[in-house]
């Protein structure tokens, strides 16, 4: 990991130049993480040149191995300016993959890490994602479907959080049931489209949508709970007490 002594990040470092501030052992670990073989006899300058070359040619080797929670951090970093940071809790005893891959510079503020990304790294990653969308419009369609699904899921959870079913009249329960049913229909219509997209992406790219199916399964479970609850209230019945 490369750490800042003072904030903010000012220098626009390439990934290789950034890695040179770290130890040679950690530079070699970066190559190991992305699956690229290099000689241990190389000096840090040679390793830096190699890392710059690999990142320029294949940035996906770095971005695609990030765990889900760090992919979310990456998405935020790609929207930042060079002197802006994304905060996350310090992990005692281990670093983020983002840090191990030398994609970020870190400033520690007590129990919080401030993650900065040099513009040269951000710009290359953004170009990669733009190139992916041009090559595989299915990814853009998938993102569009998932964005809509996320909004509908969040609306479902808001209804669950803010509604006491025992206080609903049959008419109110009927209206809310229609909203829940609309979410259910959207998901039912989206699933066959997502299966086709998944098959295409599996054949042509490294993109996986396992998390999408997990989110769908989770949402469908709550849809079932809401429908059962609202059906009772539509019939004028009280909910069974635990």
What are the tens digits of pLDDT across the range 70-112? Answer: 888 998 998 899 999 999 999 887 899 999 999 999 999 999 9
Q: Please, are residues 108 and 90 in contact by the beta-carbon 8 Å criterion?
A: yes
Question: pLDDT higher for 30 or 144?
Answer: 30
Give the ranges where the chain is alpha helix by DSSP (H).
Answer: 15-19, 24-34, 44-57, 60-63, 68-77, 97-100, 119-135, 137-162, 170-204, 210-234
**Region 53-60 average pLDDT:** 91
Q: Is 67 exposed, middle or buried (0-12, 13-18, 19+ CB in 10 A)?
A: exposed
- Domain boundary (126, 161, 184) is at 126
How many other CB atoms are there within 10 angstroms of residue 49's CB atom? 14
Number of domains in the chain: 2
Q: Has residue 165 got a pLDDT over 90?
A: no
Q: What is the pLDDT of residue 119?
A: 94
- Domain boundary (76, 108, 126) is at 126
DSSP 142-186: HHHHHHHHHHHHHHHHHHHHH--GGG--HHHHHHHHHHHHHHHHH
Q: Please, what is the Cα angle at 46 between 40 and 49, to 5 degrees? A: 130
Q: Please, are residues 61 and 36 in contact by the beta-carbon 8 Å criterion?
A: yes
- Confirm whether 1 is domain-assigned: no
Say yes or no: 153 and 71 in one domain: no
Say yes or no: 29 and 111 in one domain: yes
Can you read off the two tokens belonging to residue 101? 């891959």
- Residue 121 — very low, low, confident or very high, per pLDDT cuts 50/70/90? very high
* Distance separating alpha carbons of residues 58 and 62, to the nearest angstrom: 8
* Distance separating alpha carbons of residues 96 and 88, to the nearest angstrom: 10
| pTM for the model | 0.57
- Confirm whether 29 is domain-assigned: yes
Q: Please, are residues 160 and 228 in contact by the beta-carbon 8 Å criterion?
A: no
* Distance separating alpha carbons of residues 103 and 19, to the nearest angstrom: 9
- Confirm whether 240 is domain-assigned: no
Instruction: Name which of 228, 242, 241, 213 is nearest 160 in CA terms.
Output: 228
Q: Has residue 131 got a pLDDT over 80?
A: no
- Residue 196 — very low, low, confident or very high, per pLDDT cuts 50/70/90? confident
Q: What is the residue range of 120's domain?
A: 15-126
Say yes or no: 62 and 81 in one domain: yes
- Residue 174 — very low, low, confident or very high, per pLDDT cuts 50/70/90? very high
Q: What is the pLDDT of residue 211?
A: 77
Say yes or no: 23 and 87 in one domain: yes
| Percent above pLDDT 90 for the chain | 54
Q: φ, ψ for residue 186 (rounded to 5)?
A: -60, -45
- Domain boundary (87, 108, 126) is at 126
């Amino acid at each position: 990991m490369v750490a800042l002594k003072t904030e903010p990040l000012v220098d626009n470092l390439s990934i290789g130049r950034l890695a040179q501030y770290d130890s040679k052992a950690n530079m070699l670990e970066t190559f190991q993480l992305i699956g690229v073989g290099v000689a241990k006899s190389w000096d840090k300058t040679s390793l830096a040149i190699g890392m710059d070359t690999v990142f320029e040619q294949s940035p996906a080797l770095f971005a695609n191995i990030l765990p889900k929670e760090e992919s979310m951090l990456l998405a935020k970093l790609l929207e930042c300016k060079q002197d802006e940071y994304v905060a996350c809790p310090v992990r005692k005893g281990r670093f983020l993959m983002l840090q191990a891959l030398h994609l970020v510079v870190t400033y520690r503020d007590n129990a919080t890490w401030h993650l900065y990304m040099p513009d040269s790294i951000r710009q290359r990653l953004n170009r990669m994602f733009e190139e992916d969308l041009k090559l595989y419009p299915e990814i853009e369609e998938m993102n569009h479907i998932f964005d809509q699904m996320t909004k509908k899921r969040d609306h479902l959870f808001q209804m669950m959080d803010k509604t006491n079913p025992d206080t609903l009249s049959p008419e109110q329960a009927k209206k809310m049931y229609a909203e829940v049913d609309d979410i259910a229909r959207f998901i039912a219509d989206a699933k066959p489209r997502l299966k086709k997209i998944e098959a295409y992406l599996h054949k042509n790219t490294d993109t996986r949508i396992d998390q999408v199916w997990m989110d769908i399964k989770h949402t469908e479970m709550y849809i079932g709970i809401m429908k059962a609850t609202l059906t009772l209230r539509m019939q004028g019945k009280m909910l069974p007490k635990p």
